[in-house]
Amino acid sequence: MEFLHPEYLYLLLLLIPLIVWYVVRLSKTQASFKLASTYAFRAMKPDFRVTMRHLPFALRLISLGLIIIVIARPQSVSSWEETESQGIDIVMALDVSGSMLAQDLQPDRLQAAKKVAAEFITDRRNDNIGLVIFAGESFTQCPLTTDHSVLLNLLNEINFGAIEDGTAIGLGLATSVNRLKNSDSESRVVILLTDGTNNRGQIAPLTAADLARSYGIRVYTVGVGTKGMAPTPVNTPYGIRMQNMPVDIDEKTLTEIAAMTGGQYFRAQDTEGLRQVYGEIDEMEKYLISVQNVTRRHEMFLPFALLALGLILLELLLRRSWLRNIP
C-alpha cells in the first residue's frame, strides 16, 4: 500500500497533545459527594462501566487517526514491466595476416584487436555474433551464435599462421556476407578489420561490397595501424628481427565499401582508438528495446472512512446511553 499524499500522515502527531490534554483534564475533573459513612458501600465493587469510561475518548482518537489516513489517500499499487528485445546479427571479419603482428598497437595489432573485440562481444548480450578470419584465404571461425562464451573461446584461439598469409579483403567480406544472407534479423552487420591492401583472393573487395548491399547488409570497415612506419617482426637470415615497415592501408577501398553498404569507415591508430571505434559502432547499432511500465492504482480510503464513521457513531451512542456522564 502507498499513500498519494504521505505528508498528511504527520498530522497523526497531533494525537499526542490530545492524549496529554485528556489525561490532564481527567486528573482535574473529579466529582465529590459527602456521606456520613461509607460503611454501606464497603462490599461493592467498581462497575464495569467505570473501567470502560475511557472508551469513548479512545474511539474518538482512533477515528481521528483514520480520518487523517483517508486524507493521505491510501492506494494499492500493482506495477509490472513488459520488455521486448530484438538482437542484431553481426559477423566480425578479422584480418590475421602477418602484418597484424606489427607492434604499433600493444602488444601487437592482432592481440589488441582480439582484446577489444572480446569487450565488444561481452557488451552485446542479445546479439547473434559470428566470427570470420581471413589472410590469404578465409573461413568461418565461429558461426552466428548467442553462446558468447563459446565465441570468446574461439576468438582467443586465433593466432597468426592458422591460414595462408596474405590479405584477401574481398574474400573475407564475401564469407561474412554468406553467413548473414539467410538471417531473418532486420539488422545485419559486418565489422571488417584489416591493416593492409587486398592482394589475394578471387573476389574483389568492391564486388563483395556490392553483394552485401544486395542483401541489405551494412559493413563497417576498420583500418588499424599507425601512420608512417610501424615496428614489425620480419624473417631474416639471422632469425626474426624487428624492422620498421611502412603502414599501407587501402583506405579508399575501405571507405567505398562502407559507403556502398550504408556503413562507415574508421581508422584506429592505437589500442584506445580501436576501443573508441568499437564503442561508436556499438552506439550506432543498438538493438531494439521496448519497455512498457504498467502501473495500476486502486483507491483504498473507503474502508478507513467507513470504519471512522462507524467509530464516531459508536462513540456518540455510548456517550448518550451506557457510558453517559451525569454532571
**Domains annotated on the chain, with CATH:** 1-18+46-84+296-327 (no CATH), 88-286 (3.40.50.410)
For 199, the 3-state DSSP assignment is: coil
The answer to whether residue 326 scores a pLDDT higher than 70 is no
Q: How many angstroms separate the first and last alpha carbons of the chain?
A: 46
The answer to whether residue 2 scores a pLDDT higher than 70 is yes
Torsion sign over Cα 307, 310, 312, 315: negative
The residue-averaged pLDDT of 121-149 equals 91
Give the whole-number percent of the chain exceeding pLDDT 90.
45
The answer to whether residue 62 scores a pLDDT higher than 60 is yes
The answer to whether residue 263 scores a pLDDT higher than 90 is yes
Where residue 317 falls among pLDDT bands split at 50, 70, 90? confident
pTM > 0.75: yes or no: no
The residue-averaged pLDDT of 203-211 equals 95
Is the CB of residue 192 less than 8 Å from the CB of residue 264?
no
CA distances from 187 to 82, 89, 178 (A): 22, 6, 15
The vertex-319 CA angle with 314 and 321, nearest 5°, equals 90
Identify how many contiguous H helices and E strands the chain contains and give both numbers: 10, 11
Q: Which stretches of the chain are DSSP H helices?
A: 15-28, 48-51, 55-71, 109-123, 148-156, 169-180, 205-214, 251-261, 271-284, 301-319
* Between residues 42 and 259, the one the model is more confident about: 259
Under 8 Å CB-to-CB from 43, ≥6 apart: which residues?
none
pLDDT of residue 21: 87
Q: Which of 173, 175, 246, 167 is nearest to 199 (CA)?
A: 167
The residue-averaged pLDDT of 145-164 equals 91
Instruction: Please give the Cα distance from 22 to 54 (Å, whole number).
Output: 10
pLDDT digit string (tens) for 76-93? Answer: 876 655 555 567 899 999
Lowest mean pLDDT among 197-206, 232-241, 301-310: 232-241
Element housing 132 (H / E): strand 128-134
**What does the mean pLDDT of the chain come to?**
85
Q: Which stretches of 72-189 are DSSP H helices?
A: 109-123, 148-156, 169-180
Lowest mean pLDDT among 10-14, 46-50, 61-65, 283-287: 46-50
The alpha-carbon radius of gyration of the chain (Å, integer) is 41
Torsion sign over Cα 150, 151, 152, 156: positive
Under 8 Å CB-to-CB from 211, ≥6 apart: which residues?
174, 177
CA distances from 70 to 14, 300, 311 (A): 16, 8, 14
The answer to whether residue 171 scores a pLDDT higher than 80 is yes
Lowest mean pLDDT among 153-157, 210-214, 256-260, 268-272: 268-272
